[in-house]
Amino acid sequence: MKDISLVKILPIEPKVPFISMRKIAAVLSVLAIIASIFLFTQRGLNYGIDFTGGTVIEIDTGSEPDLAKIRTVISDAGFPGASVQGIAPDASSTLDHDYVRIGIPLQPETEETGAQAQQIAMKTAQDALVANIDGFDGPQDIRSQEAVGSAVSGELRTKGALAVGLALLMVLAYIWFRFEWQFGLGAVIALFHDVILTIGVFSLTQIEFNLSIIAAILTIVGYSLNDTVIVYDRIRENLRKYKKMPLPEVLNLSINDTLSRTILTSMTTLLALVSLYILGGEGLRGFSFAMIWGVFVGTYSSIFVASPLLLLLKLKRGVNTGNTDAAVA
C-alpha cells in the first residue's frame, strides 16, 4: 500500500529562531495590549442584552420585511432608541427571506412598572407590530424573544467576570502545583495577554459581547493553556536532558520540538471552527469568531509570550526537574 503522509514535509527538527525574535514579539504584544486597553476604555464593548438588560425580538414577516416601516412603528410605540435590522437566514434555514431583529434598550424600572418594565415594553412593541405590520400576526411569527431585567443582567455581568477570574486563578494553582512558580506565572501572564487581546478585538469590531463570548474566552484560556503546557512540558524535559545548554537555546529547542504538533492541532481546530463560523448559524457566529481569534492568539502567546517570560522570570535550573513522569504515572 502506497502511503501518503504529508506530515513528512514538516521537518522533525525545525530550527526557527523563535527566542531571538522575542524582543520584536514583546514590542508587538505590549503595543497590542495598550491598543486593546485603549479601545476598551474609549470605545467599550457592544454588550448584548445578557449584560445590559433590555429586549430583543426576532420576527418573521412572511416575506422580505419593510424595515423602514417597522422602524417607524417601533419608534412610534415609544422606543425611539430601538435598533431594527434585517438578517439573512442561513442556507440551511427554512426561511427564504430576511427576518427582523428588533432590539429595545433597557427600560427604566419605575415604581409603577417595577421589574416588569421589560415585559411591558415587549408587549407594547409586539402589539404595535401586530396592528401595523402586514404578515406579522403575533406569537406564531416570532422566531425568538428575550427580555432581561436590570437585576439579572447585573448578576450575569458579575458572574461572567467572576468566571474568567476564577478560571485564571485555578489554572495558576494547577500549573504551580505541577511546575515551578515561574511556569505558573508565565502561563497566567500569557493568558491575561490572550484575554485582553480578545476583548480588544471585540471592542475594535463591535461584535456583540454576550454570555457565549464569556464561554469563548474561557475556552480560549483552556486552549491557549493547552498549548503553553505542551511547550512547558517539553522545556522541563529538555532542561533535564541538556544540562549544559544555555536556557535560551533550551527554550528555542523545545518550541521547535513541539512546532509540528502546534501547527497540526491549530489547523484541525481552525478547520472545525471555520466550519462552525460559516455554517453554524447566526447564533454561534460571535462565539466561533472569538474562538478563531483565540486559536491564533493562544498559539502566538505560547511561543512568543509564555516561553520568553521564563527568561525574564529567571527560571533556575535543576531545582524541580525530576518529577515529570513520576508525578503522573
Partner 1 sequence: MLFFSKWKITLILGALMLGFFFALPNALPADTRAKMPGMFQRTINLGLDLQGGAHMLLEVDLTSVLEQALENEKETIRQEFREADRLRTETIRVDSENDAVIVRLRDAADSDRAFALLRDLSKPVDPTSISQDKTTRVEKLSEKDFRVTITEANIADIQKRTIAQSMNVLRRRIDPQGTTEMTIAPEGDDRILLQIPGAKNVDDIKSVINKTANLSFNMVRKESNNEAAMELARRPGSLSKVPPGAAFYPEEQGGGLIVERRTKITGECLKTSSEGLHPEGNYPIVNFTFNIRCARLFGDLTQKNIGQRFAVVLDGVIITAPRINGAITGGSGFIEGSFTLESARELSLLLNAGALPAKLVIVEERTVGPGLGQDSINAGKIASMIGLAGVGLFMWLSYGLRFGTIANIALTTNIILIAGALSLMGSTLTLPGIAGIILTIGMAVDANVLIFERIREEAHLGRPPVNAIETGYRRSLAPILDANITTLIAAVTLYFVGSGPVRGFAVTLAIGIVMSVFTAVVVARLITATWLRRKRPKTLPI
CB of residue 24 vs partner 1: minimum separation in angstroms?
A: 27
Nearer to partner 1, 112 or 325 (CB): 325
Residue placing its CB nearer to partner 1 in the complex, 5 or 42: 5
Cβ 149 to partner 1 shortest distance, Å: 4
Interface size with partner 1, residues (CB under 8 A): 94
Contact mark string toward partner 1, 289..328, x via CB under 8 A: --x--------------------------------xx-xx
Provide, rounded to whole angstroms, the least separation between the CB of residue 30 and partner 1. 25
CB of 253 to partner 1, least distance (A): 12
> Interaction with partner 1 in 11-50: which residues (CB under 8 A)?
12-13
At closest approach, how far in Å is the CB of 41 from partner 1? 25
Segment contacting partner 1 by CB under 8 A, of 22-30, 72-80, 222-230, 243-251 = 222-230
Query: Based on CB atoms, which residue is closest to partner 1, 116 or 132?
Result: 116
Q: How far is the CB of 276 from partner 1 (least distance, A)?
A: 5
Q: What is the dihedral of CA 18, 19, 23, 29, to 10 degrees?
A: 60
CA distance 219 to 221: 5
Q: Which is nearer to partner 1, 21 or 230 (CB)?
A: 230
- Looking at beta carbons only, is 6 or 68 nearer to partner 1? 6
Q: Does 211 bind partner 1 (CB under 8 A)?
A: yes
Tell me if 66 contacts partner 1 by CB under 8 A: no
C-alpha cell recorded at residue 22: 522575542
Site for partner 1 in 260-289 (CB under 8 A): 260-261, 264-265, 267-273, 275-276, 278-281, 283-284, 287-288
Residues 67-126 that bind partner 1 (CB under 8 A): 89-90, 92-95, 114-116, 118-119, 122-123
- The verdict on 144 binding partner 1 (CB under 8 A) reads yes
Residue 295 vs residues 159, 220, 262, 268, 318: alpha-carbon distances, Å? 24, 7, 10, 11, 33
82 Cβ contact partners less than 8 Å away, ≥ 6 residues apart: 74, 75, 102, 103, 104, 105, 125
Closest CB 145 distance from partner 1, rounded Å: 5
Dist CA 51 CA 213 (whole Å)? 11
Contact residue for partner 1 among 26, 40, 46, 58 (CB under 8 A): 58
Stretch that binds partner 1, among 68-76, 100-108, 221-229, 241-249 (CB under 8 A): 221-229
Site for partner 1 in 165-194 (CB under 8 A): 166-167, 170-171, 174-175, 178
